[in-house]
Amino acid sequence: MKKSNFSKRIKALALAGSAALLIAGVVVVNGCKKENTNAQVKQTVVDDESEAMLAHILAFKERMAYYHENPNLKTGGQLYSASEAVIELESLLNFNFCYTDNQYNKKEYVTSEIIMPLDDLEKINDPKLMEVYYERVIDTIQAQMGRVNFPNMKLLMVDLDVSDMDSNGDAIVSIGALIGNSGPIPISNEVGWWFGNDVGDCSEVQPNPYEGIDAALEIENEVLNTMFPAPPPGKIRKKTNIVSNLEIVSPWDYWLKPEAQRNNYKDSKLFHAIEDYGAIDDDVCCVSIDNEMLFYPPQYTDIINSEEEDYNNSHGTAYVFTNCIVYDHQLIDQFTGEYTKIWHTMQIFLGHVTLVNTYDWPVEDITTYEQ
């Protein structure tokens, strides 16, 4: 799941430049303030950064709209390197079209690639970038969502990266879209949740009243509720500078017991069972409501915090958690039809999270967006 080092290096350099500009702006503004407590200074920095980011993205949005309304203008505007252009586009997409604070009972992360034309100096101007934005990026995301085709589909996050350069000197841009299906997630039952497969709770009632829900989704929801409590009234989260190239985390990365002591019960921070450590019966497949469902969500959260810290330490960044997907997996004996291994993995997304006033930037539905 790793992207190329080229992509990481390009994005890191561009983000470092953007961060420096924002920090410089904050320092100047804060220098005029007399309040002196740590709490006040911290709040001022957050507000100033949010306002600076909002103003910057809004100015870019207006330039894109201007050249879209004046398609005969082929020159003028600003010039961007490939890495600068994708950050501008990514930020606008996440502010404009991405929902951040609802419940989603299905999620899928999909990727595609487009070509972004560059001039002889490896730059692109506003008129050309406008064409990329409307005719390639938005079209591609709409096509991605059409393929996923959830019944109540929402765009949750977008990650753009310069993955390579083609033989013509143009940029190959990867478009990653996190797509969710908006819908309620029940938070409790009397027995527990089946480890995966969307088959519902562990009761024997048929048809299962919770079909479409499983332990993987319940744990994921608990983690998100912990990491993202409800924002203050009148505020909404906006997520930018998305990092989607962390390796998917597996149970064998986070064992809690030495092999000789493993018995298919809390062997790892991530749910895991294999026939080598004992029979995989219904009790093992059921993540109990009064025990394991209390145990696993904090473990998954701890993994996220660890992965976030490791990434920031190794890249010199200050990203925070933005989202995750918990996947369920199984291996089945082809002769007996019995499970031989069942487990969860987790995909973690990092980035920047900003609180803005809800009325400053309402979310538009990209699936119905007409250019």
Q: What is the pLDDT of residues 289-339, one digit of tens each?
A: 999 999 999 999 999 999 999 999 999 999 999 999 999 999 999 999 999
DSSP 238: E
**Cα 153 from chain centre:** 16
Confidence band for 32, pLDDT divided at 50, 70 and 90: very low
Instruction: Give the integer Cα–Cα distance in Å for 366 and 144.
Output: 11
pLDDT at position 334 is 93
- Cβ(164)–Cβ(4) below 8 Å: yes
Asked, as a colleague might, if the bond just before 251 is cis with ω within 30 of 0, I would say: no
At residue 37, does pLDDT exceed 50? no
Residues 6+ apart with CB under 8 A from 107: 156, 178, 179, 180, 181, 325
Structure tokens, 174: 């990867």
Beta strands per DSSP E along the chain? 79-81, 104-116, 123-125, 153-165, 171-182, 192-194, 235-243, 272-274, 286-288, 320-332, 339-357
Q: b/e for 69-78, b at 16 or more Cβ within 10 A?
A: eeeeeeeebe
At residue 35, does pLDDT exceed 50? no
pLDDT at position 52 is 82
46-54: average pLDDT: 70
Which residue has better confidence, 361 or 182?
A: 182
In 3D space, the residue among 226, 212, 205, 196 whose CA is nearest the CA of residue 294 turns out to be: 226
Amino acid identity at 106: K
**Cα 28 from chain centre:** 32
At residue 118, does pLDDT exceed 80? yes
At residue 355, does pLDDT exceed 50? yes
- Cβ(347)–Cβ(176) below 8 Å: no
Instruction: Give the integer Cα–Cα distance in Å for 50 and 47.
Output: 5
Which residue has better confidence, 19 or 224?
A: 224
Give tens-digit pLDDT for 199-254: 999 998 889 989 999 999 999 999 999 999 989 999 999 999 999 999 999 999 99
pLDDT at position 88 is 97
Angle, helices 5-30/82-97, rounded to nearest 10 degrees: 70
Instruction: Give the integer Cα–Cα distance in Å for 55 and 44.
Output: 16
Instruction: Give the integer Cα–Cα distance in Å for 242 and 87.
Output: 9
Give the end-to-end CA distance of the chain in Å, rounded to a whole number.
Answer: 33
pLDDT at position 204 is 87
- Cβ(112)–Cβ(144) below 8 Å: yes
Instruction: Give the C-alpha distances (Å, rounded to integers) separating 270 from 110, 222, 295, 322.
Output: 24, 14, 10, 19
198 phi/psi in degrees, rounded to 5 = 60, 25
| Number of neighbouring beta carbons within 10 Å of residue 258 | 8
pLDDT at position 146 is 96
- Cβ(150)–Cβ(106) below 8 Å: yes
- Cβ(284)–Cβ(267) below 8 Å: no
